[in-house]
Amino acid sequence: MSTTKKTVVADYLREALAKGVYRPGERLPGEEELAEELDVSRATARLGMRILQDEGRIAIHVGRGAYVADHQPIIHRATPTSRDDPGRLDSDYHARLRDAGYSNIDEKIKVSLDTMRPKIAKRLLNESEEQGPHGGLVVIRASEHFVDGSLWQSHVTYFPFSIASNTALMSPEYLEGGIGEVLRELGLHEEWNWDIVGARMPSQDEADAFGLAPGIPLLIQERVTYEGQRPLRFTETLMPANRHQLLYAGGDAPEELRVMHSDVNIFEH
């Protein structure tokens, strides 16, 4: 069984999915049918299908066959506004989850104090912070969101110790007005931000925590917010790519944008 032949099978299926020949949730041809269609052995057809399974494109169920993965991601509005908090799920998002058939939404918050890793220091330290007595300390506020008992999103927000020390940010409790409101009460105003969004494969621990099938990557959104040139917080959000899609809007986008485009799906054909 050559690598070339199993790749032919994988490419054939990949092209069929791209053209929408098989819809999400639809059963694919079996090994025997694929083998006959492509003039390969059943073992080769099986290996080709496993490539697509490892990519997260199909799901193989023993005794039932292979099915097109039914990716129905929920829109997450990533554009920051005066009311947005990257560590929260807004009420609109809750409504979209319920519309998609999910019901039980829960949040767990943990707060800790640690020294800054190089990655965190690179995003949070400016010259004044580095020279201060607590320049190497960071307050970490981790928020995990569970939907129907499964980990759905993970947000970790890092604050310079000089900002978060002895404030509500160090309490592992739900913040009614969000992190932004606490910062405003401290006299700090988030004036601008930058975001980076990328994707990577999860570690085994992450795959287990999120309950991810083989081949499903994580979306990683990083955001640093500033007052002038002073970094106020750095938030890293982890989201399974098959459950989320990020919506960025520019200009004078209406507030109801998330509702208007709630049925947009990057996996549709």
The enclosing domain of 117 has a CATH number of 3.40.1410.10
- Do 53 and 85 lie in a common domain? no
CB 202 within 8 A of CB 56: no
Assigned domain for 192 exists: yes
Structural domains counted in the chain: 2
Q: Which domain holds residue 181?
A: 74-260
Bridge-based pairing of strands 244-247 and 74-77 is parallel
Radius of gyration (Cα) for the chain, nearest Å?
22
- Do 63 and 121 lie in a common domain? no
CB 96 within 8 A of CB 265: no
What's the rounded Cα separation, in Å, for the pair 71 and 215? 13
- Do 78 and 64 lie in a common domain? no
What pLDDT score was predicted for residue 89?
62
CATH number at residue 17: 1.10.10.10
Residue 86 has what DSSP assignment?
A: T
- Do 200 and 94 lie in a common domain? yes
What pLDDT score was predicted for residue 2?
45
- Do 123 and 178 lie in a common domain? yes
What's the rounded Cα separation, in Å, for the pair 240 and 228? 33
**Along the chain (269 residues), what's the average pLDDT of each consecutive run of 10 residues?**
77 90 90 93 93 85 87 78 56 74 87 93 73 72 91 94 94 88 94 95 94 88 95 95 86 69 71
What pLDDT score was predicted for residue 174?
87
What pLDDT score was predicted for residue 192?
94
What's the rounded Cα separation, in Å, for the pair 198 and 28? 31
52, 68, 84: which is the final residue of a domain? 68
What pLDDT score was predicted for residue 67?
92
Assigned domain for 115 exists: yes
Its pTM stands at 0.80
What's the rounded Cα separation, in Å, for the pair 230 and 188? 10
